[in-house]
Amino acid sequence: MTEDTGQRPPSPRDIRMSRRQFGRTGADYIVAGIPIAASLGVAGAFGTEAAKQHDRKQASSATQTALADLGVGGQVGAIETAEARIGPPIFEDPDAQEAADQLGLAPGDFLYVRDELPDSYEAYKSDRLFPVFHPRVMQQKELIYNLAREHSVPPNIIATLMSIESGGNPRPPVHGENEITGLFQVSATLHMQDENSDDYDNPEINGKHAMLVLRDSIRSAKEFLGDTNLEDVSPYDERPDVYLRAFAMYNAGPTGAWKDFDDQELPLEAHQYIQHTNRFFKVFEIAHKLREKGFDDVQIAEKLISDEVDARAEAFREFGTSFPTPDDALKYLSKDTIELPKVADYATQTSEQDAEEALFHVYMDFKHGNLEYEYDLNPAVRMHTATAAGFVTEDPVNKIVDNWFSPEIMNTHPLD
C-alpha cells in the first residue's frame, strides 16, 4: 500500500515537463499505449519504413480495440485513414490521440489547412466553452456568455473571433484609417457611429457591434454559398462552411471576401483567418470527445498538448520565410512524416531543398529537446501564435505559464 499524499497523479503536462530535462527519442512518442519503435535519427525521422508501418499498425489496432470496447468499433471510418497514414501521432496523451484517430486527423492537418470542414463537425455549437483558448480570452468568459445569450451566437464562435482578433487584450492599440479597435477589432468609423460614448474599445460596446457585424457576415456568406433563405440567420444552425466564409468576410468585408478561397486576390490575412478558424474547429471536436469521456477542463487542456505540432510550428517560425510563400513551408511541414530531403549531390541542391533541410533540422532539434517552447499549447493556439500572433505570448496574463492550466482561469462553466 502506498501512502496517500492527497496529490493527484502526474498529468500529461507534468510528465512532458520532466522529459524536457533529459531530451527525447522516438520511444517517447506513444499512440494508444504503443511506443514508436525506432529512435529519432535512424533511417530518416522515424526509423525504417518497415518499423514505421509496424508501429503505426499496432497503434491503430490498439485504438480500434479501444473503440470496440466503447461500442463504436466498425462505425468510425477514420480508423482506416489513421492506419493508412504512416507517421507520428498528434498527441502524447492516448485519450486525445484516440479522439484524433476517430476524426482521421494527423499532425499536418493543423499546418497546411484545406479551406473546408466536414458538415459533421458540430462541437462548435456547444453552449459551453472549451478550455482551448488563451488565458486572456478565458478571463472574458462572462462577457462571452452574455453576448452568446443576447445575440444567440455559440460561445465558442465568439471566443474564436476574440482569439484571432486580439488574443483577449481588451484595449489593443487603435489602428488603420477606419479606427479598428477593441477585443473584436471593430471599426469605430464604419460600425459604431451610433454610439453615444466614444469608448469604442469598451468590451460590452465592442462586443455588441462585433455580433452585429458577424450576423451580417453570416448573411453574406449564405448568399455567396447560394442559400436563398437570407432572412433566417440562426448562428446555432449554420454549417461549418458558412462560418469559414463568414469569418473571412468579418475580416475582409463582403466585397473583399466575395471570392473563392483559392483565388489569388483573396487577402492573405483573410486566408489566414480561415485557416485559424479551421484549426479551432478541429480542436473543438477533440475536446468535445474528451469532455464526453468525463475529463474536466484542466485535464482536457493538458491532454491537448502536442509535441509534434510544437516541433513543426517551431520549424515554421524559424525558417518559414526561407520559402517563396508561407504556404510552401506549411505544405512541407504538413507531410505525415517529415524527412531530410534526399539529395544525391550537394552541388545540385536547390534553394527549396536548402529551405526544407533547414526546416527539418529545427524540427528534429525540437523533438530532441534542444529547442523548446516556453508555453504548452494546443495545436490551434500554437499555430495561431506561430503564424500570425506574436502578441499572444507578449500579453502579461498569457505570459504566466501556469495560467494556461489554472482551474480558476480555464474553468468553462457559465457564470450565474
**DSSP characters over 121-172:** --GGG-SS--S-S-HHHHTTHHHHHHHHHHHT--HHHHHHHHHHHHTT-SSP
Which residue, of 59, 89, 110, is where some domain finishes?
110
Same domain, residue pair 140 and 283: yes
Domain contains 6:
no
Domain contains 388:
no
CB neighbour list of residue 274: distance below 8 Å, 6 or more residues apart: 113, 115, 244, 247, 248, 261
- Dihedral sign for Cα 42, 44, 48, 54, please: positive
Same domain, residue pair 43 and 103: yes
Same domain, residue pair 149 and 98: no
Q: What is the pLDDT of residue 170?
A: 73
Q: Are 179 and 193 in contact (CB under 8 A)?
A: no
- What residue numbers bound the domain in which 238 lies? 123-305+396-410
Q: What is the pLDDT of residues 220-244, one digit of tens each?
A: 898 898 887 777 777 788 889 999 9
The residue type found at 87 is G
Q: What is the pTM of this model?
A: 0.78
Domain contains 195:
yes
Q: How confident is the model at residue 94 (pLDDT cuts 50, 70, 90)?
A: very high
Same domain, residue pair 216 and 269: yes
- Cα gap 300→21, rounded to integer Å: 24
Same domain, residue pair 296 and 316: no
Domain contains 378:
yes
In terms of DSSP bridges, do strands 34-35 and 180-181 run parallel, antiparallel, or are they unpaired? unpaired
Same domain, residue pair 404 and 258: yes
Per DSSP, 10 falls in state P
Q: Residue 72 above 50 pLDDT? A: no
Per DSSP, 105 falls in state -
- pLDDT-above-90 percentage for the chain: 35
Same domain, residue pair 138 and 284: yes
pLDDT averaged over every residue in the chain: 76
- Cα gap 413→297, rounded to integer Å: 9
Q: What is the pLDDT of residues 107-159, one digit of tens each?
A: 999 999 887 889 999 999 999 999 999 999 999 999 999 999 999 999 999 99
The structural domain count of the chain equals 3
At 130, which CATH number?
1.10.530
Residue ranges of the alpha helices (H) in 293-325?
A: 297-303, 307-319
Q: What is the pLDDT of residues 312-325, one digit of tens each?
A: 999 998 888 888 88
Domain contains 337:
yes
Same domain, residue pair 249 and 127: yes
Q: What is the pLDDT of residue 199?
A: 65
Closest listed residue to residue 332, CA positions, set 359, 367, 362, 354: 359
Same domain, residue pair 279 and 361: no
Domain contains 415:
no
Same domain, residue pair 297 and 333: no
Domain contains 391:
no
Same domain, residue pair 29 and 146: no
- Cα gap 73→77, rounded to integer Å: 9
Q: What is the pLDDT of residues 157-203, one digit of tens each?
A: 999 999 998 888 776 655 444 567 778 888 765 544 555 556 667 88
Same domain, residue pair 213 and 94: no
Q: How confident is the model at residue 64 (pLDDT cuts 50, 70, 90)?
A: very low
Domain contains 118:
no
